Structure 1
Amino acid sequence: MSKNIARLAVTAGLTAALSFGGVMAPVTMAFAAGTPVATTSGNVTINEETYKDTTFKGIQIFKAKVAQDQKSEGVWDSTGDKTLSDIDWANNSVKSAVTTAFDNVDNGSKPSDLPNDNSAQAWVNFINNHSSEVVGNNVNAGSVLDMIAKSLEGQTWTDAKSGTPGTFEGIDAGYWLFETKSVGATTGADRNKDAYTSPIFAVVGGEDVKVEPKKDVPNVTKAVKDDNNGSFVTDGNKDVFGAPNRVADSASDQLIEYQLAGTVASNINTYEKYSYTFTDDLPSTMVPNLSDGKPVVEVKIDNAKVKEGYYTANYVTDQGKNELVVSFDNLKGEIKSDKDRDITVSGSSKIYVNYKAKLNPTKVNADILGKGQKNTVALTYSNNPHSNETGTTVVHPAYDYTYGIDVTKVGNEETPRKLSGVVFKLQEKNDEGELENMFIDCTGVKQTNAEKAKLTTDSSGKINVVGLDEGTYVLTEVTPAPGYDNSHGDKGITFTITSGELSENDTTVVTPKAKVTDGDNQTLVKVENSTDGMVHLTVTDKKGSNLPLTGLNGVTFTWIAGGAVLVIGVAHLIRSRKQAEESEQE
């Protein structure tokens, strides 16, 4: 009697409680307890809870009588092994496929113990000898069981019972292989596609076989670093998969950090080649940080930074796209760290992509203020160990918000006059409360030259600045309107913009709030928080003062007397010229 085939007959998700039984030569066997009952057929149920539309197929490799102990009539002893007798090939086609599975393998890679004959018993023993190639109930890529599973792909398989995804009733007893026939997807607009299970090898007969597919569909998430706490997570006790920070706000041209994070299939050892691609879809208002046209990224596998050249990173803008694409042709291939050390990817590995992006100042306008700029990622990955087929995850979003200010300059008349031509400068304070030596222009971009960033009120007395982040700002009047004083002097008006709670929804408008915290004549500043993503400020200037005039009557008299002298002089000049003309005529 050969060893227990349970140690080699791998099943995806097969529980430890299920034993496949022993493969034995047709000899008499004594049972320790219970009554052995031989069966010639059996039932199998493959249960996929999440992807209800995924279907399965099966193919018999060896036919046999399968015996198992019963505790009582009709009640199987699940702690007992199943044993097989009268073993033979299922049919000649399967026999030919399996026994020639290694014909095209290089001699150096062929198992040294390949059977010398094609008898079923010889191949049972051969399979049994390679039970150590099974890792965590997964069939290693290139192993004996993997090669056998591949060799059977072109054979005629048995489908699950009609109307069920993975129920097989009354199928012939023996040694079977089950695989995924077709993969389903989750419901919703962005459908997550299932992955194929590792090959499921099982002994059919005796107690019903109930298994769950052995595979984890890769997952992806996306986070943005909030500059308020400098973190990608909302809960410091969790990782980016458990508590990703999905919302932040920024100014125009301000680089903000994003992180893409993905898992791999738990049965990645089943794959010879495992492709893996992040596709990050940026909104039209944003661009990634580029160097010579290529996105600047940091790629990590677990804690090791991947050396450039072992992945590709591209910025795709053709056909209306605005995508950052980072991909591995093969995660199972050679991958080096930036320290030139080998990186090995296992079923528990995590893949990370860190990059920066910013709001494009030319695309920032009043229409996007307070509205989340939706930025999504999806992961495409190998999902079939025996083909180049791929699956794609549900997309995961992150949102970026920006705001603006609307300033109206008026006089202090009873009916305030809108003051045009008033020049302002706008600056931000840093985290230490110090005023930056940078000047913000009307698109929210910081300039080193104040002249390039001067803000001048139009005929309606308005200036508009878009693309502002949360923060504290100082608005300083540089040139007042003629006839009006600068009511706030060199100190300017200090105000703080806060966003409140950001929304994970690109249709909800976030209303920023502002508070004037410093400045002279604060009563001359009116703040209005509106639902258009802007803070509205009305700033009043007082009319210039009239200096007192003395000796007004004397001054008036002097003007009158001077005018009289001028009139008399002009009349005398005219009369003199007339007398001269008359003398010449005589």
Structure 2
Amino acid sequence: MRRYIKRIFAALTVVMLLAANTVPVMAAGETGTLTLSNGQTPITATFKAYRLMDITVGNTDTAKTYGYTINKNFEAFFAEKAAPSLNQSKDVAAHKYLEDNVKTGKVKTDLEAFLEANSSTTVAGTFEFMSTSTVSVSNLPYGYYAIMPNGKDNTHNPVFVPLTETTQTTYLKELKPGTDKKVEEGGQQQEWGDASIGDTVNFTVNSTVPNMNGLKTCKFILKDTMSKGLTFNEKNVQVKIGNQPLTKDNHFKIESKPSQDPAGGTDITITIDNLKELNIPGFTPNPGDPIEFTYSAVLNKDAVVGIDPVKNAAMIKYTNSPDGGTETTPVDEVIVKTYDLTITKKAENETNGKLLEGAEFKLYKGDKTEGTPIKFIKLRVEGEYRVAEAEEQGTALDTVVTPASGIVTIKGLDQGTYTLEEVKAPNGYNKLNDTIKVTITATSENGDGKDVVVNGSNLTVVNKAGTLLPETGGKGTVLFTIIGAIGVAVILLSFVSSKKNKTDAK
């Protein structure tokens, strides 16, 4: 018995050792030293570190693991900016908010507003540069830190860094404008979107006020190149710095002209002549303040359907030296796509898949046949149509007709739900009683619009052949009537002929 007990304890010991090697060992309450560096350039500036989330570090045989929880000083901040969705914890929601919005600058803007309204928020550490290039702060608990410039006259961006080591170095980044262009899709700002021909597409470009120290003037220019599939709408341009709107002609001017690109398109320039002299009472832009440009364009008939997207690129050019020198940001590009719908008309119970000519369809936006159907322009290729532009609505067609091939293609549609109605069946076939719901979906795995997968853009519609209705009259009765009539006629003719012969004989 003792031998068996020893074996059991030995087996349990092995299991416990294995479990110890697979369960992460969590290091709670650890601290580290964080060094903030400006490279080789000494500066005089102050930065305050705020711990947004606490981090615990776990170790396994293969990798480190990290647990994030909201720091108590920022519970109100995340409750407002990162409310959890259904079945999502508040810590996960906060982590997702930071992951998605730190690089876009949204966290910076949100956090600056929060700290301005809550000036007593606990500071985890202060980095004081006194004509030095590096400063270190020790005994900082592990966590995700926002290192914020102290005052709007600073010339560096905030630094966001997870501290998970006992010694760690991170680098300051000089405050320079960038170009962050987005297209509106479903109420969200994205790298790509889609639309139907004739739809208005909204764009946003975000940048920041540059360091203007030592400059007498600071010109700030947005340059945008739209492909020929987009028609720029100059009336919808808006510019604001922070929450301060600027007005056209007083603060900025707009110029648009045909692009020098061989592919065509439009070059757009929005120019703020001098950021240092906007002459707005009570308002002075500071380095790092967000600048937002919003404008729109209409997707036109030159939009390319399918794999090749409609592209729209933007960049910022600004004054960066007292002698008038300039710097240009990298180009940022967004993509706008439009899709086609291919309808194949076939006969039911045809072994050879007979395609039918002459079917007429109307297409409605949405899931009902209400309102005005979508209007089309017939293209040169047989069976191809595109969505009509606004100025073509009066002469456009409201039906598409299958040609001899039985296949009709509609170009220039947005993703979404449509309703297809057959209004006339091919000769010899019965018209469909019910409408057909069509849903076009498009997804981009990487979120950049370069690898879009489209579903629902091909549809097969089947018609039943009509048969002769039953006849209730008797064909034999008609036949007997005809034969009888002929017989009567023969008798009459014989009678007349006989009478005439008798008369002649007299």
TM-score when normalising by structure 2: 0.57
After superposition, residues 120-199 of structure 1 pair within 5 angstroms as none
Provide the rounded CA distance (Å) in 2 between the counterparts of 1:79 and 1:218.
26
Cα deviation for residue 538 of structure 1 reads 1.3
The one-letter amino acid paired with 1:311 is F
In the other structure, the counterpart of 1:306 is 246
**Does 1:485 find its partner at 2:407?**
no
SS of alignment partner, residue 286 of structure 2 = coil
Provide the rounded CA distance (Å) in 1 between the counterparts of 2:184 and 2:298.
13
Query: CA distance change for structure 1 residues 371 and 222 in 2, over 3 Å: closer, same or farther?
Result: same
In the other structure, the counterpart of 1:547 is 469
TM-score when normalising by structure 1: 0.49
Contact 1:398–1:504 (Cα < 8 Å) also in 2: no
After superposition, residues 415-494 of structure 1 pair within 5 angstroms as 415-429=352-366, 436-440=370-374, 441=376, 442-445=385-388, 452-487=397-432, 489=433, 491-494=434-437
Provide the rounded CA distance (Å) in 1 between the counterparts of 2:441 and 2:279.
45
In the other structure, the counterpart of 2:256 is 315
In the other structure, the counterpart of 1:38 is none
**Does 1:325 find its partner at 2:269?**
yes
SS of alignment partner, residue 554 of structure 1 = helix
Cα deviation for residue 497 of structure 1 reads 1.4
In the other structure, the counterpart of 1:221 is 180
Residue 499 of structure 1, aligned match among 416, 433, 442: 442
Query: CA distance change for structure 1 residues 424 and 213 in 2, over 3 Å: closer, same or farther?
Result: closer
SS of alignment partner, residue 386 of structure 2 = coil
Runs of 4+ in structure 1 displaced over 6 angstroms? 78-81, 446-451, 560-566
Contact 2:191–2:449 (Cα < 8 Å) also in 1: no
After superposition, residues 91-102 of structure 1 pair within 5 angstroms as none
Cα deviation for residue 503 of structure 1 reads 5.2
SS of alignment partner, residue 452 of structure 1 = coil
In the other structure, the counterpart of 1:14 is 42
Contact 2:223–2:314 (Cα < 8 Å) also in 1: yes
Query: CA distance change for structure 1 residues 324 and 343 in 2, over 3 Å: closer, same or farther?
Result: farther
Query: CA distance change for structure 1 residues 547 and 215 in 2, over 3 Å: closer, same or farther?
Result: closer
Provide the rounded CA distance (Å) in 1 between the counterparts of 2:236 and 2:284.
24
Provide the rounded CA distance (Å) in 2 between the counterparts of 1:389 and 1:286.
33
Contact 1:439–1:446 (Cα < 8 Å) also in 2: no
Cα deviation for residue 372 of structure 1 reads 3.1
Residue 343 of structure 1, aligned match among 254, 277, 283: 283
Structure 1 segments unaligned to the other structure (5+ residues): 1-11, 19-77, 82-134, 139-211, 233-244, 515-534
Deviations 1:5-62 (A, max 9, x none): xxxxxxx9523499xxxxxxxxxxxxxxxxxxxxxxxxxxxxxxxxxxxxxxxxxxxx
The structure richer in strand per residue is: 2
Provide the rounded CA distance (Å) in 1 between the counterparts of 2:488 and 2:442.
73
Query: CA distance change for structure 1 residues 271 and 13 in 2, over 3 Å: closer, same or farther?
Result: farther
Provide the rounded CA distance (Å) in 2 between the counterparts of 1:536 and 1:214.
50
The one-letter amino acid paired with 2:182 is A
In the other structure, the counterpart of 2:160 is none
Query: CA distance change for structure 1 residues 136 and 422 in 2, over 3 Å: closer, same or farther?
Result: closer
In the other structure, the counterpart of 1:157 is none
In the other structure, the counterpart of 1:231 is 188
Query: CA distance change for structure 1 residues 389 and 224 in 2, over 3 Å: closer, same or farther?
Result: same
The one-letter amino acid paired with 2:294 is N
Query: CA distance change for structure 1 residues 558 and 342 in 2, over 3 Å: closer, same or farther?
Result: farther
Provide the rounded CA distance (Å) in 2 between the counterparts of 1:471 and 1:349.
38
The one-letter amino acid paired with 1:397 is E
Contact 1:422–1:457 (Cα < 8 Å) also in 2: yes
Provide the rounded CA distance (Å) in 2 between the counterparts of 1:302 and 1:482.
65
After superposition, residues 77-116 of structure 1 pair within 5 angstroms as none
In the other structure, the counterpart of 2:455 is 513
**Does 1:355 find its partner at 2:355?**
no
Deviations 1:280-338 (A, max 9, x none): 1112211222xxxx3520111111111221101122215445122211111111244xx
Contact 1:371–1:507 (Cα < 8 Å) also in 2: no
The one-letter amino acid paired with 1:512 is V
The one-letter amino acid paired with 2:197 is S
Provide the rounded CA distance (Å) in 1 between the counterparts of 2:320 and 2:279.
21
Deviations 1:513-551 (A, max 9, x none): 12xxxxxxxxxxxxxxxxxxxx22111111113111242
SS of alignment partner, residue 341 of structure 2 = strand
Provide the rounded CA distance (Å) in 2 between the counterparts of 1:80 and 1:370.
55
Structure 2 segments unaligned to the other structure (5+ residues): 1-39, 47-128, 133-151, 156-170, 377-384
Contact 1:247–1:503 (Cα < 8 Å) also in 2: no
Query: CA distance change for structure 1 residues 409 and 136 in 2, over 3 Å: closer, same or farther?
Result: closer
Query: CA distance change for structure 1 residues 502 and 251 in 2, over 3 Å: closer, same or farther?
Result: farther
SS of alignment partner, residue 387 of structure 1 = coil
In the other structure, the counterpart of 1:388 is 324
Cα deviation for residue 436 of structure 1 reads 4.7
RMSD across aligned positions (CA): 3.7
Aligned sequence identity (%): 26
Provide the rounded CA distance (Å) in 1 between the counterparts of 2:430 and 2:175.
71
In the other structure, the counterpart of 1:405 is 341
SS of alignment partner, residue 500 of structure 1 = strand
In the other structure, the counterpart of 1:122 is none
